Amino acid sequence: MKSYDVVIIGSGIAALAAANKVAPFKKVAILSKYGPFLSNSMLAQGGVAVVVSKEDDVSEHIMDTLRAGDGHCDKQAAEFLVKRGPNTLRKLIEKGMEFDCDAASLKLGREGAHSHRRIIHAGGDATGRKLTGFMMQQVTEEAEWIEHYSAIELVIKDGRCSGVKIMNSAGKTEIIWAEHIVLSTGGCGNLFESTSNAASANGEGLSLAYYAGAELADLEFVQFHPTALAGDHPSSILISEAVRGEGARLITETGKGIMENHPLGDLAPRDIVAREVYRRIQQGEKVYLAINYVKEFTNEFPTITQLCKGEGFDLNTGKIPVKPAAHFHMGGIKVQQTGQTSVEGLYAIGEAACTGAHGANRLASNSLLEGLVYGEAAGEFLRRQPSLQNRHIDKGDHASGTKRAKSAMTLQELKKMMMECAGIERTTQKMKWGMEKLENEFPVLTDKDIYAYHPEVLAFLHQVTAAYLIIKSACERKESRGAHYCLDYPDKKGEWDGVRIVQKLDKNLDWRNKKHEQDESKKDGRALFA
Ligand code: SIN
């Protein structure tokens, strides 16, 4: 039996930042399903938003963050994020992380809704890869890596999270015990058909936390990035907002700018630009990013250049066809500044967490910053906690479920459905349709029996749960705000100011129970997993 002081599930920037702080002092394991090279952090093209210039000020970065968050940010959380930014950056540079420079100072890029140039990059548009690589070097020797295992269940003993059941690709399961478990499982973009996210970002962490009894907040706020490469590609390719920061413009097929009516033009907040691109495409138009306005595009954006060429796009045409793609989840597992969730011993950081800092719509390049700042804060907190007490370690009755099943809905169908009912423009009718569909397709699954299934089936069930909870929150918010846009309630409403939709498993009232009881008689015939 393995036991640790801290087990971190996930290996993106937040996980590494936390591990860096705690691993020199405690027995730490990093559980990484796909290995350290597959995460949203690795893919991040945009940089880190941080105040370093004399012309800039943290108060203005805070103001930009709050404005983009559309009146829904937790102000303290946003202030904590922005104020810790410069120091976090300074320490990284002192340790040897190299960011791009102009002459003697850091090169500062611009992105949507920022009032100043304040985005720092590494390797042009390869910031995530460079930063992840750098942080991995710092942490590798101090923490134990458990790769190619996925977390399938959090073990709760006496109300405390005490371990995690893990499974390898052959379906073999085991439990690892820990005093503290940190979910750093990333976002949920892969629940949508069009996404910029890594395959690992599929909302499973939300469901793990939900079934462990933790509170989830703001799930309705899913950010769509306006400019992913359009067309059918096996992989999702983002065209960074930094490209517009350097002058690129969104245009129609005839070359007319589509953001001309907004005071911030092509650098308007991301939700507004994404909706404009979406509407045009819905009306049958094509939208392009005109890159001929950018000086030395291929030098400035080597990763994008390579990715587009790899897909056979000729950049000499001066324009790239684009479409919106699910990009970032502002909602997540509700946490305090230390990463603590509402369940003792369970923590969440990075995109899986909801600190409240981003409100209803995240400001560009505040996410790597959040991973660094909040990951470190959790690591610092964990470092101060007592070491392993072995209080829960037992052989216990943790046998895995055995039910095997044939799926009536594929992941691809789920993703298509999410796009339709919880995408850029939502309607009450579609959201209700989506919820009912899942309730009908999954009648046998309650919190009590989800773990009766064979571990190999569980990952998809966790994705279904995350999808359902997102639609449910979206359906409950009877207004439009930030990234949540509902055609039935197109305006922001004062009565929803400061209202956060929080979801928590009620063992007696799980979302599937009602349907479960109704469908008991036909459960074998109609169940998704029969
Ligand atoms: C981008 O490069 O456009 C994405 C950056 C971000 O999501 O903050």
How far is it, in rounded angstroms, from Cα 385 to Cα 394?
Answer: 22
Compute the 3-state secondary structure of the chain and give helix, strand, coil in percent, each to the nearest 5: 35, 20, 45
- For ligand 1, atom 8, the nearest C-alpha belongs to 365
Atom 4 of ligand 1, residue of closest alpha carbon: 46
Structural fold of domain 2-221+328-390? FAD/NAD(P)-binding domain (3.50.50)
In angstroms and rounded to an integer, the radius of gyration of the C-alpha atoms of the chain is 22
Residue 7: its H or E element: strand 2-9
Which of 191, 185, 227, 176 is CA-nearest to residue 206? 185
Of all protein residues, the one whose alpha carbon is nearest to atom 5 of ligand 1 is 46
CA dist., res. 185 & res. 206, Å (int): 8
Closest CA to 348 of 166, 208, 253: 208
Q: Can you tell me which residue has the tokens 């943290």?
A: 58
pTM: 0.92
The rounded Å distance from CA 240 to ligand 1 centre is 6
270 CA → ligand 1 middle, Å: 10
- Nearest Cα neighbor of 364 from 507, 261, 267, 237 is 267
Q: What's phi and psi for 346, nearest 5 deg? A: -115, 135
CB 155 within 8 A of CB 135: no
**Distance from residue 229's CA to the centre of ligand 1 (Å):** 14
Q: What's the pLDDT score for residue 472?
A: 95
pLDDT of residue 314: 86
Query: Residue 363 CA: which ligand 1 atom is closest?
Result: 8
What's the pLDDT score for residue 507?
A: 64
Alpha-carbon distance 455 to 452, whole Å? 9
For the chain, which residues make up each domain, given as ranges?
A: 2-221+328-390, 227-324, 411-528
Query: What topology is assigned to 411-528 in CATH?
Result: Methane Monooxygenase Hydroxylase; Chain G, domain 1 (1.20.58)
Give the binding-site residues of ligand 1, using a 6 Å CB cut-off: 45-46, 240-242, 328, 364-365, 367
Beta-ladder partners of 217 = 332, 502
2-221+328-390 matches 411-528 in fold: no
Task: Tell which residue, 27, 28, 32, 36, has the closest CA to residue 9.
Answer: 32
Active site residue 270: yes
Q: Spell out the per-residue pLDDT of the chain, length 530, in tens.
A: 789 999 999 999 999 999 999 999 999 999 998 877 788 888 888 899 999 999 999 999 999 999 999 999 999 999 999 999 999 999 999 999 999 998 889 999 988 889 999 999 999 899 999 999 999 998 877 899 999 898 999 999 888 999 999 988 888 889 999 999 999 999 999 999 999 998 889 999 999 999 999 999 999 999 999 999 998 776 678 999 989 999 999 999 999 999 999 999 999 988 999 999 999 999 999 999 999 999 999 999 999 999 999 888 889 999 999 999 999 999 999 999 999 999 999 999 999 999 999 999 999 999 999 999 999 999 999 999 988 666 666 665 567 777 776 666 889 999 999 999 999 999 999 999 999 998 887 754 566 667 777 777 888 889 999 999 999 999 999 999 999 999 999 999 999 999 999 999 876 545 444 444 444 433 332 233 32
Q: Are 230 and 380 in contact (CB under 8 A)?
A: no
Rounded to the nearest whole angstrom, what is the distance from the C-alpha of residue 367 to the centroid of ligand 1?
Answer: 8
CA–CA distance, 93 with 79 (Å, rounded to integer): 22
Token pair 């996404």: residue: 195
- What H or E segment, with its residue span, contains residue 58? helix 58-68
Residue 59 CA neighbour count, 13 Å, CB half: 1
Domain 227-324 has CATH 3.30.1360.70: no
HSE of 399 in the Cβ direction (CA atoms, 13 Å)?
Answer: 5
pLDDT at position 492 is 97
Of 269, 250, 248, 271, the C-alpha closest to 259 is 250
Counting from 1 in the atom list of ligand 1, the atom nearest the Cα of 327 is 7
- pLDDT at 398 (0 to 100): 67
Tell me the three state secondary structure of residue 12. Answer: coil
Q: How many CA atoms lie within 13 A of 507 on its CB side?
A: 4
DSSP 8-state code for residue 64: H
Tokens read off for 157: 């003993």
Structure token pair of residue 346: 């369970």
In degrees and rounded to multiples of 5, residue 334 shows phi and psi of -70, 125
Which one is catalytic: 270, 362, 477, 481?
A: 270
- What's CA 262's distance to the chain center, in Å? 28
Three-state SS letters, 171-207: CCEEEEEEEEEEECCCCCHHHCCCECCCCCCCCHHHH
User: Tokens 């967490």 sit at which residue?
Assistant: 353
The predicted structure's pLDDT at residue 64: 97
